[in-house]
Each structure stands twice: as structure tokens, then as C-alpha cells.
């Protein structure tokens, strides 16, 4: 219920997607909000590609020539891909990956000059914040699959995902300070994913950390050789997709809700969540299946 409310608050909208190929690629024309103007994203090819099969949706940042910069068009396209039929029981897990050697270089600096002005800048950062919050409020788990460099808002995107798997060639940085633009919004996600002193060193120096360092500090869930990245990510995604969607949605929402609470309140909230979980058909099915020594048959 909390997840559904969060999606409605962020403006979930349907869109027409065309299915092609074994992975059912999904595409739709991007349309900007309001009239086009200086710096405004123009209608044209979408900078993301979405494919879905067996409950797993893979959203690919597909603008490698621009280092998969999180332009306003990219952010809106990513948001649309996550929101599309988010409440469908056929959707179990989302993977966010990227084409090219850079996962994402962060915001498009061409959109952040004074030619666009503060209103446009505010829209960029507001949209980015909505995307990052959507990841946590989304009813299904969202996995980042990283193969390469993730900087600034690109690092923020990785930090915001529920699970993050990276190749051993990947690296992460918040280098905004080097160009006079402190990574204040990436710091929100980064500061919640790694220890404070690690985050502040990254933010104050702009220096990158390796995948192994990111794993050590909690930015990543696991690191694998590049040739095993897709295999390992898909293994995790298939395992998640095999679980009960209503149970995962309830548990994910409760996990993030309790994080901001004091200990007593957190236990009060999660105790009620356990009771609610037992009231779900899949909650009872799982217990009965365990006692009867059989595999559960989930409703979704």
C-alpha cells in the first residue's frame, strides 16, 4: 500500500510500448514537459531502452556518446521506464544497466550553464530527486548493474538502488568539487550508503574509489569479473523474481520506512508489518508449504 501510494504521488503514467525480439524491447517517443526552449529536451529517440522477460525488466542507459549523462531527457526517460505498469503483477524486479565504458557521468553540464537559468536548473535537480526517491518507493527491487565509471549523479544512481552489482573494472566518484559544483544531491544517497568519513573524503577530494573499495564501504552488494557481471546480476534477479511480489513489496516498503525511526518505533512498525504479512495469502501459503515440505505456489 505504501509503495503504491508513493508511486501515485510521483505521477505514475502509462505509455505505449512496442514489443520486439526475445527480450521484448519496449520503446516510446519522449515528450518534454511544456514548450521546447533553450536547453529543453526535444522530442526524438529515447535515451533509454527497456526490455522485459520473465518478470525482469532491464532498463539500459543508451547514450554512450554522451557518457550516459543524466540529462533531463535521460532522467524523464528513466522515470517513465520505471513507472510503466509498475503495479503489474508481471513485473518482479528491475535492472538498470548502461551501454559503453561509462555507466553514467552524472548531470549533463551543458544543461547547467546560465543560458538555461534557475527555473530549468531547478527542474533538472527536482526530476533527478524524484527518480532517486522513486527507486526506494517502487514496489519491486531495483538492481544496478555497473560496468565502468559512475560519477556524480551516476554514483548517486548506484547508491540509490536496492542492490548494486559491479565489475571489477568499475570505479565511483563525486568529482563536482573539482569544477566548482559540490555534489550536494549525490551526497544524499552516498551519505546513506557509505560511512560518513568515506562519503566526505569522496565529496571533498573528488577522487574515485575502486569497485573493491566501494564493496568494502557498502556502496556495492558484490563485485565480479567483467565477464561474469551479467550472469551474476541475472542470477540475483531471477532469485528475486521467484519470490512473492506482494511479500517483497511489503518488506521493501517497511525496510525503508523503519530506517529513519528510533529503535522502539522501528520495532513497532515492523511488528505490525509482520502481522500484515501473515494476513497476505502468500504469507500463509509459504508457511503451509514449509510445514508440508513442498515448494510454495505464490499468487504472483
What's the confidence (pLDDT) of residue 191? 98
User: pLDDT for 53-75, tens place per residue?
Assistant: 999 999 999 999 999 999 999 99
Following CA atoms 120, 145, 188, 204 in sequence, which dihedral angle do they give, to the nearest 10 degrees?
-100
| pLDDT exceeds cutoff 60 at 24 | no
Give the confidence band of 45 by pLDDT, cuts at 50, 70, 90.
confident
Q: Torsions phi, psi of 42, nearest 5?
A: -90, 150
What is the rounded distance in angstroms from the CA atom of residue 146 to the CA atom of residue 37?
Answer: 33
Cα–Cα distance measured from residue 224 to residue 166, given in angstroms and rounded to the nearest whole number: 6
Share above pLDDT 70 across residues of the chain, in percent, rounded to a whole number: 85
Helices (H) and strands (E) in the chain, counts: 11, 11
What average pLDDT is seen over the chain?
Answer: 89
> Is residue 186 within 8 Å of 152, Cβ to Cβ?
yes
Who contacts 126 (Cβ-Cβ below 8 Å, separation ≥6)? none
Tens digits of residue pLDDT in 189-215: 999 999 999 999 999 999 999 999 999
Ramachandran angles phi, psi of 53, nearest 5°? -155, 135
pTM: 0.87
Q: Is the pLDDT of residue 1 over 50?
A: no
What is the average pLDDT across 218-233? 98
> What pLDDT, on the 0 to 100 scale, is given for residue 21?
38
Rounded to whole angstroms, how far apart are CA atoms 261 and 252? 15
227-283 pLDDT tens trace: 999 999 999 999 999 999 999 999 999 999 999 999 999 999 999 999 999 999 999
Amino acid at each position: 500500500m505504501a509503495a503504491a501510494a508513493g508511486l501515485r504521488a510521483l505521477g505514475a503514467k502509462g505509455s505505449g510500448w512496442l514489443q520486439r525480439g526475445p527480450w521484448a524491447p519496449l520503446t516510446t517517443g519522449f515528450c518534454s514537459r511544456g514548450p521546447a526552449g533553450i536547453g529543453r529536451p526535444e522530442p526524438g529517440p529515447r535515451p533509454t531502452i527497456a526490455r522485459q522477460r520473465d518478470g525482469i525488466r532491464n532498463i539500459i542507459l543508451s547514450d554512450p556518446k554522451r557518457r550516459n549523462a543524466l540529462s533531463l531527457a535521460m532522467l524523464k526517460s528513466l522515470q517513465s521506464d520505471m513507472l510503466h505498469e509498475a503495479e503489474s503483477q508481471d513485473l518482479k524486479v528491475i535492472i538498470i544497466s548502461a551501454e559503453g565504458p561509462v555507466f553514467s557521468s552524472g548531470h549533463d553540464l551543458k544543461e547547467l550553464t546560465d543560458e538555461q537559468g534557475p527555473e530549468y536548473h531547478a527542474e533538472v535537480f527536482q526530476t533527478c530527486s524524484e527518480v532517486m526517491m522513486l527507486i526506494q518507493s517502487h514496489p519491486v527491487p531495483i538492481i544496478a548493474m555497473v560496468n565502468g565509471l559512475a560519477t556524480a549523479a551516476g554514483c548517486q544512481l548506484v547508491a540509490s538502488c536496492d542492490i548494486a552489482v559491479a565489475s571489477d573494472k568499475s570505479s565511483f566518484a563525486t568529482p563536482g568539487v573539482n569544477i566548482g559544483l559540490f555534489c550536494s544531491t549525490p551526497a544524499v544517497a552516498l551519505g546513506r550508503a557509505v560511512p560518513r568519513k568515506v562519503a566526505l573524503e569522496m565529496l571533498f577530494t573528488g577522487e574515485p574509489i575502486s569497485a573493491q573499495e566501494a564493496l568494502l564501504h557498502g556502496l556495492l552488494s558484490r563485485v565480479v569479473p567483467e565477464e561474469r557481471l551479467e550472469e551474476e546480476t541475472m542470477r540475483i534477479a531471477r532469485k528475486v523474481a521467484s519470490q512473492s511480489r506482494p511479500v517483497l513489496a511489503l518488506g521493501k516498503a517497511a525496510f525503508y520506512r523503519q530506517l529513519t525511526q528510533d529503535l522502539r518505533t522501528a520495532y513497532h512498525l515492523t511488528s505490525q508489518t509482520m502481522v500484515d504479512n501473515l494476513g497476505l495469502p502468500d504469507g500463509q501459503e509459504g508457511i503451509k508449504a514449509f510445514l508440508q515440505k513442498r515448494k510454495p505456489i505464490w499468487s504472483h
